[in-house]
Homo-oligomer: A and B are copies of this chain.
Amino acid sequence: MNSKTPVIQLKNVSKTFGEVRSLSEVNIEIYPGEIVGLLGDNGAGKSTLVKTIMGFHQPDEGGEIWFKGEKINEWNVAKARELGIETIYQERALCEQQPIWRNMFMGREIKNKFGRLNVKQMKSEATRLMSEHMGFTSTAVHPDNAVLTMSGGEKQGVAITRALYFDAELVILDEPTVGLSLSETKKTLDFIQNIKKSGRSAIFIDHNIFHIYPAVDRMIVLDRGKVAGNYKKSDITMDELIESMYRVARTGSIKE
C-alpha cells in the first residue's frame, strides 16, 4: 500500500455559482487507507466539494483533480464511479418512482456481454443486500417496490447499501447517518471502520462531532468555501476540536 500517492487530490479547486463562491482554492488529498472527516458549518461548501470530486460539478478554471497520481481532464460521475469512487449523497440521489432494484444499480446496471440487462440477478442481489446490510422493520422492502413508499430512514438505507455494493477505493459519505436509528447509525459507523481495515479510503461528513471524531484519522474543517483547518487525530482532542469549531463559527478563523 503506497500511501505516498493520494487516491484523490484536489489542487486549487474553486467553484462559483453566480455570485456565490462555494469553494475557493481548496487543496485536499486523501491517501489510501485513510478516513478523513470533513467538518464545517451549513453552507460551508462540503457537499459542493463532494460533487466536484465526483465530477458532477466542474471546477472553475485553474482547478485540478488528480486520481492516483494522474491528472484527470474529462472528469464525470460515470468515470469517477468506474475508477472506484462511490458516494452517499446528502440528498440521497434516488429515483423514487422506480423499484428498489433499479435504484440499487442505478448507473451501473448488471448486463451480459451482449448488453442485455440481467434483471433477475439485479433483483436477487438487491434482496440480499437489503436484508443483509440493512434490517428493515416495515414490509415495504421487496425489490419490486417503489422507493416512494418507503420511510425517510429506509430510503437512506437504500442509498447506503448501494454505495456498499460496489467495492470502491474511496467512499464518500455526506451526512449518511441523518435520519437513521441508533442501531443503523452504529452499523454505518462500523462500515466505515471496515473500509479502513480493507485498506480503502473514505471521506466522512457529519455534523455530529461525536460521530466523526472516533471514526476518522484526519479532519478537515471547511469554512465558507476555504480549508480552515486540517488536523491529524493524534494532534487534537475532541474537546479541542469542539472548542475550535465554535471559534470558527464565531470568528471565521481557526486561530485564536
Contact = CB atoms under 8 A, between A and B. Distances in A.
Contacts of A184: 42
A18 B207 CA distance: 36
Given A43-B137, A137-B44, A180 B207 contact: yes
Contact of A224 (B42, B138, B208): B138
A41 B153 contact: yes
User: Interface residue tally of chain A, by bracket?
Assistant: 35 or more
Given A20-B138, A20-B140, A207 B179 contact: yes
Contact of A182 (B43, B150, B182, B207): B207
Given A19-B139, A44-B137, A182-B245, 8 more contacts: A20-B140, A42-B179, A43-B137, A43-B151, A43-B154, A44-B151, A175-B179, A208-B208
6 contacts: A42-B136, A42-B156, A42-B157, A43-B137, A138-B224, A152-B175
